[in-house]
Amino acid sequence: MPDIPPLLDETTTTGDLKRLVEAFVSERDWGKYHNAKDVAIAINVEAAELLELFEWVREHEIPALLADEEKRRHLGEELADVIMLCLNLASVADLDVADTVRRKLEKNRVKYPADMVRGNYRKYTQLRAQSKEEASHGPD
């Protein structure tokens, strides 16, 4: 594998990443397979592969897992699979990732006010139960 220069979060936009994934798909003529449904399914398959890394790992073993070079590499690859497919879905569905994330975060800010949920597990669960009850009275 050729030695390629790193892309860093500080200097790479979500648009840059979307274009890299789009080029990868286009170069292989895979766009015909990448409809929104199949990409959403693939996201879940890759998310399961990510979860598999933690299957049967006890909570106290997680720091050692994250410190293990080979396991960190594997974790990064599975995380990348999920992220790339999420970027692919955003392209297929013509969604702007940054704006979509910002809008959803704002919705979550309203749904989970920091002053009500900060550091208080009991209040957080009570708020979620209340939100679920409100959601059952109409579309979210």
Give the C-alpha separation, 63 to 108, whole Å.
Answer: 29
- Each residue 65-104 as x (binds Mg ion by CB under 5 A) or -, in order, gives -------------x--x-----------------------
Question: How far apart are CB 95 and Mg ion at their closest, in Å?
Answer: 23
Sole binder of Mg ion in the list 49, 65, 75, 95 (CB under 5 A): 49
Check if the beta carbon of residue 55 is closer than 8 Å to that of residue 65. no
Token code pair at residue 97: 């990732």
Residue 65's SS3 state is helix
User: Which residues are CB-neighbours of 17 under 8 A, at least 6 positions away?
Assistant: 7, 83, 84, 87
Question: How far apart are CB 70 and Mg ion at their closest, in Å?
Answer: 15
Question: How far apart are CB 86 and Mg ion at their closest, in Å?
Answer: 13
Residue 22 or 81 having the CB closest to Mg ion: 81
Give the C-alpha separation, 6 to 12, whole Å.
Answer: 10
Of 113-132, which residues contact Mg ion (CB under 5 A)?
Answer: none
Residue 21 or 78 having the CB closest to Mg ion: 78
Tell me how far the alpha carbon of residue 33 is from its chain's centroid.
21
Q: How many binding residues for Mg ion (CB under 5 A)?
A: 4
Question: Which residues of this protein are in contact with Mg ion, per CB under 5 A?
Answer: 46, 49, 78, 81
